[in-house]
Amino acid sequence: MNVLLSSIGTRGEVQPVLALALELRALGHHASLCVPPNDEHWVESFGLRCFPIGPDLEKGLRGAGGDPAKPFKPTPEQRRQLGVATVRHQFQVLGEAARGCDLVVGAGALQIAARSVAEALGIPYVFAAYCPVTFPSPEYPPLKMGIPHPQWLPAIGRVRRSPSRERRRFRLLWKDEARSFNEAFLVTLNEERAKLGLTAVDSVKPHIFTERPWLCADPVLAPDASGAGVQIVQAGAWFLPDPSALPDDLERFLANGEPPVYFGFGSMRGSQRTGRVLLEAARAVGLRAIFSRGWGNLEAADAGSDCISIGDVNHERLFVRVAGVVHHGGAGTTTAAARAGQPQIIAPHMYDQFYFARRVQTLGVGVYAPRREHLTVNTMISALRKCSSADMKARARALANRIIPNGATIAAERLAREFGGRS
């Protein structure tokens, strides 16, 4: 079986489909990937064929001229043009990449063209999401970039409404969200479908998601959202095994004292102020600190023997050796920290990060912190102390035993059973 896997997002969104590709290869199948150009060489280092798709996300998220403090803010007309160009580019790249394939798997809500390409070729298509709240439901509101809904905020200060009123309001919000998505992509999607001899679709998201989407998230940490109106297939998060050792300087730092706290915001933007706040808070509670630079160049405010700054490292090896994990709330980092049995502090920035912040708080294994720009030394001190409590540490360790460790293997085996007879 030849499978094309496509994911248009940051490293945390590419890594799960890479894990799935490797599991498919271990079963004797062939897999190739469509991912952003900044991850092309990384994917190819595993001996997999890669088709670059979309923009260089790392360059874009680092900000204008490489300055994380100056993000690109398109005008409405630029957004419209970007939407048109995105759809046309996806049809071009995926149309070429899917030739000779038996199955297309599209991961993430920006897979505008994947289903249409598979339909034109007469092959199956599977959509996979990284978080249950990707799917419309009257049980929760839609996710919007950088705009947390009160449903995802800490319970203190929430305006409480009756359940029936909440559901009515959520349905209206999902209709508005679908309308916005259609305005951005529907016309161009149907123009490209017509070129392939396909009929027009009425709405973009139901077309992308299908009636039987897959959810590559752990069922304990991110359970299937009841009432979503679709039949969801969920078998756990898709972890990428990483055999790489930790850098020597990090090993020496870990061996030279008590377990430190990990600070890292992945692909999110950072600032010098953030580094100062985090380091001062860690020192106030007597913790050493590891700063993961990420795309935002997060750094320790001042060098010292109690802190170290690092690049990309093996989270699987590192997280089991720290005192806690402070991060942005990406699905991958949240699951990796849960799998390591560590308490977490999540300062969400956008999208599903608010959901995961609320989930770790609900499960009693972490703290929902303010967004990065609103973090203060005092709020971080309070959060670090909560994460240091014996009760929270015990709950985090107990949760680790419930996380499914082989979700990518389960998913690969299921794909092979359901679609492998075509090759």
Give the helix/strand (H/E) hosting 57. helix 57-61
What whole-number distance in Å separates Cα of residue 151 and Cα of residue 159? 9
Q: Is 210 left (phi over 0), alpha (psi -120 to 50) or beta?
A: left
Pair 357, 272 in one domain: yes
Per the structure, the complete domain to which residue 107 belongs is given by 2-239+405-422
319, 197: one domain:
no
Kindly report the CATH number assigned to the domain that includes residue 101.
3.40.50.2000
Q: What is the spatial distance between Cα 384 and Cα 280, in angstroms, rounded to a whole number?
A: 12
Q: 331: closest CA among 71, 6, 52, 9?
A: 9
Say if residue 230 is in the same domain as residue 253.
no
> Residues 224, 301: one domain?
no
Same domain, 196 and 290: no
- Regarding whether 381 and 319 lie in a shared domain, the answer is yes
CA-to-CA distance for 407 and 127, rounded, in angstroms?
16
264 with 410, same domain? no
Q: Do residues 182 and 285 both lie within one domain?
A: no
Q: Judge whether 106 and 210 are in contact, CB under 8 Å.
A: no
91 and 126 part of one domain: yes
**b/e burial code for range 139-150 (CB count within 10 A of at least 16 → b):** bbbbbeeeebbe
- Residue 7: strand, helix, or coil: strand
Tens-level pLDDT at each residue, the chain (423 residues):
999 999 988 888 899 999 999 999 999 999 999 999 989 999 999 999 999 998 766 565 555 444 545 555 667 777 778 888 999 999 999 999 999 999 999 998 889 999 999 999 999 999 999 998 888 888 777 876 545 555 555 543 444 567 788 888 888 988 998 999 999 999 999 999 999 999 999 999 999 999 999 999 999 999 986 566 678 999 899 999 888 999 999 999 999 999 999 998 877 766 667 888 888 999 999 999 998 887 677 777 677 889 999 888 999 999 999 999 999 899 999 999 999 999 999 998 888 888 899 999 999 999 998 877 788 999 999 999 999 999 999 999 999 999 999 999 999 999 999 998 754
pTM, whole model, 2 decimals? 0.88
Kindly tell me the sign of the dihedral angle through the C-alpha atoms of 92, 96, 97, 101: positive
CA–CA distance, 406 with 27 (Å, rounded to integer): 14
DSSP-derived secondary structure letter, 139 = T
How many CB atoms lie under 10 A from the CB of residue 196?
Answer: 14
Are residues 188 and 260 both part of a single domain?
no
Name residue, tokens 């997060």. Answer: 298
Number of independent structural domains in the chain: 2
**Cβ–Cβ under 8 Å, residues 145 and 177:** no
For residues 72 and 105, state if they share a domain. Answer: yes
Phi/psi of residue 35, nearest 5 degrees: -140, 165
Co-location of 275 and 161 in the same domain:
no
Query: Which residues are CB-contacts of 213 (< 8 A; sequence separation ≥ 6)?
Result: 126, 127, 128, 129, 135, 230, 232, 233
